A and B are shown apart, each in its own frame.
Chain A
């Protein structure tokens, strides 16, 4: 595998039109050796983008390259070195882990049974128990064990941690961090659980209604954004161009700004606090209304 590439994933201006939904000119990249959090509310276009990446759905326009190769022209070569993890186990309940290893030997050229069994031991997953008797957490761990046992250079995960309890989620996130110790490895992780993304990701891409709203290093995004907390009177004096949207309540308003430093200077009387990815997502989703309140929603 050619390791001479800087971005594990490069998406340039991809579009895909469905009845009632359009993936509109989506562009972002995942630097090699990093973990990219792909966030957005349900139906924002995360899964469609991932399906386009994996060539599960064809795109109307745009370009995609993975591991430095075109995702269609060199599809087989690319897919030899990637692993996709979905929110449900893609194997029937009648199989057990031993069966799975036997089957995946035919699916992945670089399948390593020993690595797989080591992961099973580590995750305390039984080898002879049928998947039908596995819990959701066990199924997810099993998928991860399989994904990490064939020397994949890129993990693509679609809502992989959704529905898991915090203990399992943390355990899984630790595995991902360990996987990234090898600088050749990269991860694209889609989720609407922003706390997970905030915890482990290096970069973040935020998609809403089929459009990319933000994409870049997580620290930069958090650094640029800030939460302005002000009274109703102060809120009236804030220029609408200086904030994304404002949550208004009886006591005052909270405004998300994308220019923290500029706003600090412009509105010296208003407190501007650091924000979180969850707040960023929430305020961007309401950007069209500009002013909103929890009761109204």
Chain B
């Protein structure tokens, strides 16, 4: 098995290092932003106005943790794996040997899971250090959001990977991947736009109804609402997230094994 895993590693090595250095870069930028927020000019703001400082810290935290954490996941993506193997004839070659499909599939998934763990570990490290540097506690909410992002992205990618194998050409494979992976992103962006629009409307209504409310108070109430919404989501999602993840990875492994055994998929791309 070591040889096949080594082969998979070499095939994905570029993505491995891209993930690793990408994550380190993201981490370094996060650190710089957080440190400058804590000790730079923003520190003066913190000293002058507690609530504004808290808002700023929140903004930085959100930016460094959530926005930056998506980058490693994007970097760790498995891309054009099958087309690359089909193009060089390795798929066809394996079919002329007695090596079983499950072995090839297992080697692929071992490598992929190691890469997922690497990226996820670095994402968590990023959010943890951001929290600590900004003097925030690292709570279930922080970890949960990162874990949820990772699980959703992995699930989408695994589904996309299975569909990519039906493509006849590398170009078709890329089209399928783009199509499948963009759908949830667009859906999420659409949902967020509508959500923010509602909140903006709510904000205006609150301002009109009660002119005595300050912006900070409205902001804090909205933030509390978002946090409670997230906590509600995490309460439901976190217990089932490992099950979803395992099911998707095991299902992906079996689908890949089955598809590798199908002559058309394995050899006639």
Contacts and interface: CB of A to CB of B under 8 A. Distances in A.
Nearest to B1: A106
A109 B100 CA distance: 12
B90 A91 contact: yes
B263 interface: yes
B103 A106 contact: yes
A55 interface: yes
B89 A90 contact: yes
B106 to A, nearest CB: 11
Given A76-B98, A107-B99, A56 B3 contact: no
Interface residues of B, number: 26
Contacts of B191: none
B99 A102 contact: no
A54 B95 contact: yes
Interface stretch (A4-12, A79-87, A269-277): A79-87
Interface string A97-138: 001001111111100000000000000000000000000000
B38 interface: no
A1 interface: no
Contact of B10 (A76, A95, A109): A95
A90 B92 CA distance: 8
A290 to B, nearest CB: 37
A19 B92 CA distance: 22
Interface string B76-107: 00000000100011101111111110010000
A92 B103 contact: no
Nearest to A143: B93
Residue of B2, B7, B95, B100 with highest tally of chain A CB at under 10 A:
B7
A102 B6 contact: yes
B90 A90 contact: yes
Interface of B: 1-4, 6-7, 10-11, 13, 84, 88-90, 92-100, 103, 263, 267-268
26 contacts: A54-B95, A56-B92, A56-B267, A58-B263, A75-B98, A76-B98, A79-B96, A82-B96, A86-B89, A90-B88, A90-B90, A90-B92, A91-B88, A91-B90, A92-B84, A93-B88, A94-B11, A95-B7, A99-B7, A99-B10, A102-B3, A103-B7, A106-B2, A106-B3, A107-B3, A107-B4
Give the 4 A-B residue pairs with the shortest CB-CB distance, closest first: A90-B93, A90-B89, A84-B96, A106-B3
